[in-house]
Amino acid sequence: MRPAWILAAALLCVMAGCGQKRQSETPELKFEMQADTASLSTGAPLLNRVEAYRVSGGALRMRGDVTLPDGVRLQISVYPHGEEQLLGRVQVVTENRRFDSPPLVGPGGPLPRGAYRIEYLALFNPAWQTEDVLRRTDNGRGIRGPGVTRDRVGGAAFYLIEERTL
């Protein structure tokens, strides 16, 4: 009978311990903030004027005025409005605060008139920009204005989207 009594006492102790409430500590919620991201997009616009025009054969070209240093490589991508299918992409290099693209031609020839989404992108890393541009812009960190952001690895980037009829 003694082993049953010891087993019952041990069972009661275990059950008594199960009834206690244990407070779980919730870790404090913290956000990682980069020191220079608060004012990246403040300031004057970098893309001041963009004009889309057609050349002989109907191909589309784009030119514009930018507040970016000479030599910055800027990529222009064109998508149909509301869709994700890339129709055309070109890269331009700024000169005298201006750019003028080569002809943009879609998979089936000249892009028809219609509504489009245009994306402007400049990454400030050695694969995209010259050493001179990176030096003059502090690797892009010296650029401020609407569209200035950081890429997925923290590098400076300019990314702007506009919708327009071409």
**What are the pLDDT digits (tens) for 104-144?**
998 889 999 999 999 999 999 999 999 999 999 999 999 99
Task: State the chain's mean pLDDT as an integer.
Answer: 85
Asked if residue 6 belongs to a domain, the reply is no
Asked if residue 125 belongs to a domain, the reply is yes
3-21: average pLDDT: 54
Higher pLDDT, 57 or 74: 74
Asked if residue 71 belongs to a domain, the reply is yes
Range of weakest confidence among 10-24, 27-41, 150-164: 10-24
- Residue 1 clears pLDDT 60, i.e. is over it: no
Asked if residue 34 belongs to a domain, the reply is no
How many structural domains does the chain have?
1
- Residue 143: which CATH number? 2.60.40
Supply the pLDDT for residue 125: 95
HEC assignment per residue over the chain: CHHHHHHHHHHHHHHHHHCCCCCCCCCCCCCCCCCCCCCCCCCCCCEEEEEEEECCCCCEEEEEEECCCCCCEEEEEEEECCCCCCCEEEEEECECCEEECCCEEECCEECCCCEEEEEEEEECCCCCCCHHHHHHCCCCCCCCCCCEEECCCCCEEEEEEEEEEC
**Structural domain containing residue 139:** 47-165
Asked if residue 138 belongs to a domain, the reply is yes
Supply the pLDDT for residue 3: 57
Asked if residue 20 belongs to a domain, the reply is no
Asked if residue 38 belongs to a domain, the reply is no
Asked if residue 140 belongs to a domain, the reply is yes
